[in-house]
Copies of this chain bind each other. A is one copy, B any other.
Amino acid sequence: MTASSPPGSETGRAQPNLTSTLTARLADEIVAGKLPPHTRLPTERSLMETYGVSRTVVREAIAALRADGLVETRQGSGAYVAAEIRNRPFRIDPKGLKSVKQVLDVMELRLCVEVEAAGIAARQRSKADIARMRKVSRAMARAIANGDPAVDLDFELHTVIGTTTGNPYFSSFLEFIGGIIIPRRTILIDDHEHGGTPYLARIQAQHEAIIAAIAKGDAGAARRAMRRHLAEGRDRYRRLVSKDPDEA
């Protein structure tokens, strides 16, 4: 079995091993519908022969697919494509975002959830939540004054807002999607033509406006403030990359 797929390029990772490669190939076939739900996968022996690998590799690949929710195994019977591959987790591969449109599309998805989260947070907030937001915001202000882009603190602030909703699905989703998008704002800050530092100051002012609206319990204002914040970042990103199409 030749590993012909591009390497993961993950830090510290030489190249995909046989198990990862087989996992990906089988997953592709399942997702592509070549193996519809309920159908039985080839037996381990058959997969061994087809792909020229040992049973160890086959079993590890099946274990990975099982963990991914794509297959279910029955001892003595076989491995079956899961009845509900709809239950497969929602995934965005940050390294897979190759085009500007893709990044903007993810931003758009994030935007609607963040906006709603801000509104819910305004209704649900406690004093402790607001204190936490303000603490992070102060730390951000200090970091920015020291020339630090404060990406991690930005992420943390959005995470606190998510937690403030009291809805764990909002918070975990925002953490998930924020982890993908927020680090990309470094290119907005590195934009020397328009100056990154004033933009950081704008981000900070926008964060403060969001926090103030949430503290006030004004859901509408919180939503508007969040939408302004994220829409501006998105538009800025769009403008920037339309001048430099290589950056995505």
Contacts and interface: CB of A to CB of B under 8 A. Distances in A.
Interface in A15-62: 17, 19-20, 23, 56, 59-61
B113 A112 contact: yes
B179 A67 contact: no
A172 interface: yes
Contacts of A68: 64, 67-68
Nearest to A177: B90
A198 to B, nearest CB: 28
A16 to B, nearest CB: 10
Contacts of A88: 176
Indicate the member of A14, A67, A87, A177 with the most B CB atoms within 10 Å.
A67
How many copies of this chain does one complex carry? Answer: 2
Summarize A's interface: helix, strand, loop or mixed: helix
Interface residues of A, number: 57
Nearest to A176: B90
A151 B177 CA distance: 29
A20 B177 CA distance: 27
Contacts of A73: 13, 17
Contacts of A126: none
A83 B9 CA distance: 13
